[in-house]
Structure 1
Amino acid sequence: MEISDELLCLYSADVSDDGDSYRIEVPRREVETGAVSVGETYRVALIAPESESTTEAEVSDEPQPPVEPGEIRYVEIEDLGKQGDGIARVERGYVIIVPDTEVGQRVKVEITEVKSNFAVGEAIPE
Protein backbone atom coordinates (compact mmCIF):
# COMPACT_ATOMS: atom_id res chain seq x y z
CA MET A 1 0.00 0.00 0.00
CA GLU A 2 1.37 3.40 -0.94
CA ILE A 3 1.02 6.12 1.69
CA SER A 4 0.77 9.78 0.70
CA ASP A 5 3.48 12.21 1.81
CA GLU A 6 0.58 14.39 3.04
CA LEU A 7 -0.28 11.86 5.79
CA LEU A 8 -0.46 13.70 9.13
CA CYS A 9 -1.22 10.80 11.46
CA LEU A 10 -2.21 7.16 11.41
CA TYR A 11 -4.19 5.31 14.08
CA SER A 12 -6.92 2.70 14.46
CA ALA A 13 -10.41 3.68 15.56
CA ASP A 14 -13.85 2.13 15.79
CA VAL A 15 -16.90 3.57 14.03
CA SER A 16 -19.60 4.35 16.60
CA ASP A 17 -23.30 5.05 16.14
CA ASP A 18 -24.16 8.59 17.23
CA GLY A 19 -27.89 8.60 16.53
CA ASP A 20 -28.34 10.33 13.18
CA SER A 21 -24.67 9.96 12.19
CA TYR A 22 -21.58 7.85 12.76
CA ARG A 23 -18.41 8.94 14.50
CA ILE A 24 -14.70 8.12 14.25
CA GLU A 25 -12.79 9.64 17.17
CA VAL A 26 -9.37 11.27 16.84
CA PRO A 27 -7.02 10.37 19.71
CA ARG A 28 -6.25 13.32 22.01
CA ARG A 29 -2.50 12.87 21.41
CA GLU A 30 -2.93 13.77 17.72
CA VAL A 31 -4.34 17.19 18.68
CA GLU A 32 -1.91 17.73 21.57
CA THR A 33 1.14 16.99 19.38
CA GLY A 34 -0.14 19.32 16.67
CA ALA A 35 -0.75 16.71 13.96
CA VAL A 36 -4.44 17.72 13.91
CA SER A 37 -6.09 21.02 14.86
CA VAL A 38 -9.61 21.38 16.27
CA GLY A 39 -11.95 23.16 13.86
CA GLU A 40 -10.00 22.23 10.71
CA THR A 41 -11.32 19.96 7.96
CA TYR A 42 -9.31 16.89 6.95
CA ARG A 43 -9.55 14.18 4.31
CA VAL A 44 -10.05 10.77 5.89
CA ALA A 45 -9.01 7.46 4.33
CA LEU A 46 -10.48 4.22 5.63
CA ILE A 47 -8.65 0.91 5.36
CA ALA A 48 -10.59 -2.34 5.65
CA PRO A 49 -10.12 -4.30 8.88
CA GLU A 50 -7.54 -7.07 8.78
CA SER A 51 -8.85 -10.32 7.36
CA GLU A 52 -9.91 -13.10 9.69
CA SER A 53 -6.90 -15.17 8.66
CA THR A 54 -4.40 -13.82 11.17
CA THR A 55 -0.76 -14.76 11.33
CA GLU A 56 0.83 -16.32 14.40
CA ALA A 57 2.49 -12.97 15.25
CA GLU A 58 -0.91 -11.25 15.31
CA VAL A 59 -2.30 -13.83 17.75
CA SER A 60 0.51 -13.25 20.26
CA ASP A 61 -0.47 -11.84 23.67
CA GLU A 62 2.47 -9.41 23.44
CA PRO A 63 1.53 -6.05 21.87
CA GLN A 64 3.02 -5.42 18.46
CA PRO A 65 5.06 -2.27 17.74
CA PRO A 66 2.79 0.62 16.67
CA VAL A 67 5.03 1.45 13.69
CA GLU A 68 6.30 -0.39 10.62
CA PRO A 69 9.45 0.02 8.50
CA GLY A 70 8.88 2.64 5.82
CA GLU A 71 6.06 4.33 7.74
CA ILE A 72 6.11 8.14 7.82
CA ARG A 73 5.26 9.87 11.12
CA TYR A 74 5.32 13.35 12.55
CA VAL A 75 6.84 13.19 16.04
CA GLU A 76 8.04 15.56 18.72
CA ILE A 77 11.49 14.96 20.20
CA GLU A 78 11.02 14.73 23.99
CA ASP A 79 14.45 13.64 25.24
CA LEU A 80 18.00 12.89 24.17
CA GLY A 81 19.47 9.41 24.47
CA LYS A 82 22.89 8.57 25.92
CA GLN A 83 24.52 8.99 22.49
CA GLY A 84 22.77 12.31 21.81
CA ASP A 85 20.04 10.95 19.52
CA GLY A 86 16.54 12.42 19.76
CA ILE A 87 13.86 10.32 21.44
CA ALA A 88 10.17 10.55 20.59
CA ARG A 89 7.37 8.54 22.16
CA VAL A 90 4.21 7.42 20.37
CA GLU A 91 1.38 5.05 21.30
CA ARG A 92 1.79 3.18 24.60
CA GLY A 93 5.08 5.03 25.23
CA TYR A 94 6.81 3.22 22.36
CA VAL A 95 10.17 4.91 21.64
CA ILE A 96 11.39 6.13 18.26
CA ILE A 97 15.07 7.12 18.13
CA VAL A 98 15.80 9.91 15.65
CA PRO A 99 19.48 10.86 15.16
CA ASP A 100 20.50 14.49 14.54
CA THR A 101 17.47 16.06 16.25
CA GLU A 102 16.99 18.24 19.33
CA VAL A 103 14.53 18.31 22.24
CA GLY A 104 11.33 20.19 21.33
CA GLN A 105 11.83 19.74 17.59
CA ARG A 106 8.81 18.43 15.64
CA VAL A 107 10.02 16.35 12.71
CA LYS A 108 8.73 14.21 9.86
CA VAL A 109 10.33 10.79 10.27
CA GLU A 110 10.61 7.68 8.11
CA ILE A 111 10.85 4.53 10.23
CA THR A 112 13.94 2.58 9.12
CA GLU A 113 14.18 -0.17 11.76
CA VAL A 114 11.60 -1.69 14.12
CA LYS A 115 12.31 -3.73 17.26
CA SER A 116 9.85 -4.99 19.87
CA ASN A 117 10.57 -2.11 22.29
CA PHE A 118 11.89 0.71 20.07
CA ALA A 119 12.27 1.89 16.48
CA VAL A 120 14.82 3.98 14.63
CA GLY A 121 13.73 6.70 12.25
CA GLU A 122 15.39 9.13 9.89
CA ALA A 123 14.33 12.78 9.88
CA ILE A 124 13.00 13.83 6.49
CA PRO A 125 13.45 17.47 5.45
CA GLU A 126 10.18 19.22 4.58
Structure 2
Amino acid sequence: DRGPVPVEEGQEVDVTVDSVGRRGDGIARFNNFVIFVPGTNAGDKVKVRITSVRNNFATGEVVKGE
Protein backbone atom coordinates (compact mmCIF):
# COMPACT_ATOMS: atom_id res chain seq x y z
CA ASP A 1 0.00 0.00 0.00
CA ARG A 2 1.17 3.50 -0.81
CA GLY A 3 0.06 4.91 2.53
CA PRO A 4 -2.37 7.77 3.03
CA VAL A 5 -3.42 9.89 0.07
CA PRO A 6 -1.66 13.27 0.52
CA VAL A 7 -4.48 15.43 -0.88
CA GLU A 8 -8.23 15.80 -0.44
CA GLU A 9 -11.01 17.33 -2.51
CA GLY A 10 -11.07 21.12 -2.30
CA GLN A 11 -7.45 21.37 -1.15
CA GLU A 12 -5.19 23.79 -3.04
CA VAL A 13 -1.58 22.82 -3.74
CA ASP A 14 1.29 24.37 -5.70
CA VAL A 15 2.72 21.99 -8.29
CA THR A 16 4.94 21.93 -11.36
CA VAL A 17 3.62 19.97 -14.33
CA ASP A 18 6.18 17.27 -15.23
CA SER A 19 4.74 15.93 -18.46
CA VAL A 20 1.60 15.59 -20.55
CA GLY A 21 -0.46 12.41 -20.65
CA ARG A 22 -1.99 10.60 -23.62
CA ARG A 23 -5.22 12.58 -23.37
CA GLY A 24 -3.41 15.91 -23.24
CA ASP A 25 -3.77 16.46 -19.49
CA GLY A 26 -0.79 17.82 -17.60
CA ILE A 27 0.70 15.41 -15.08
CA ALA A 28 2.05 16.85 -11.84
CA ARG A 29 3.16 15.19 -8.62
CA PHE A 30 2.58 16.21 -5.01
CA ASN A 31 4.51 14.09 -2.49
CA ASN A 32 4.98 11.56 -5.34
CA PHE A 33 1.19 11.38 -5.80
CA VAL A 34 0.00 11.92 -9.39
CA ILE A 35 -2.36 14.82 -10.08
CA PHE A 36 -3.84 15.24 -13.57
CA VAL A 37 -4.33 18.90 -14.49
CA PRO A 38 -6.21 19.54 -17.76
CA GLY A 39 -5.14 22.53 -19.83
CA THR A 40 -1.54 22.65 -18.66
CA ASN A 41 1.81 21.99 -20.32
CA ALA A 42 5.07 20.47 -19.10
CA GLY A 43 6.98 23.03 -17.05
CA ASP A 44 3.92 25.02 -15.95
CA LYS A 45 3.98 26.10 -12.29
CA VAL A 46 0.39 26.32 -11.10
CA LYS A 47 -1.79 26.40 -8.03
CA VAL A 48 -4.32 23.58 -8.36
CA ARG A 49 -7.60 22.95 -6.55
CA ILE A 50 -8.17 19.21 -6.16
CA THR A 51 -11.52 18.26 -7.73
CA SER A 52 -11.46 14.48 -7.37
CA VAL A 53 -9.36 11.94 -5.51
CA ARG A 54 -8.93 8.25 -6.33
CA ASN A 55 -6.72 5.60 -4.73
CA ASN A 56 -3.72 6.22 -6.97
CA PHE A 57 -4.25 9.66 -8.52
CA ALA A 58 -6.19 12.90 -8.24
CA THR A 59 -7.49 15.46 -10.70
CA GLY A 60 -7.41 19.18 -10.22
CA GLU A 61 -8.15 22.50 -11.87
CA VAL A 62 -5.85 25.48 -12.15
CA VAL A 63 -6.61 28.23 -9.65
CA LYS A 64 -3.87 30.49 -11.00
CA GLY A 65 -0.81 30.12 -13.16
CA GLU A 66 2.50 31.97 -13.02
TM-score by length of 2: 0.91
Unaligned stretches of 5+ residues in structure 1? 1-60
Q: Which amino acid in 2 is paired with 1:117?
A: N
Distance 2:37 2:25 in 1: 6
Superposition pairs of residues 1-126 of structure 1, within 5 angstroms: 63-91=3-31, 93-125=32-64
Distance 1:62 1:87 in 2: 19
Q: Which has the higher contact order (CA 8 A, sep 6+)?
A: 2
Deviation at 1:64? 1.6
CA 1:62/1:95 → structure 2, altered by over 3 Å: closer, same or farther? closer
Q: Percent identity?
A: 46
Distance 1:74 1:125 in 2: 10
**1:74-124 Cα shifts (integer Å, max 9, x gaps):** 100001011010000111x21000000000000010000001100000001
Larger Rg: 1
Deviation at 1:125? 2.6
Give the 4+ runs in structure 1 shifted more than 6 A: none
TM-score by length of 1: 0.49
Distance 1:90 1:113 in 2: 14
Give the number of aligned pairs: 65
CA RMSD in angstroms, aligned pairs only: 1.4
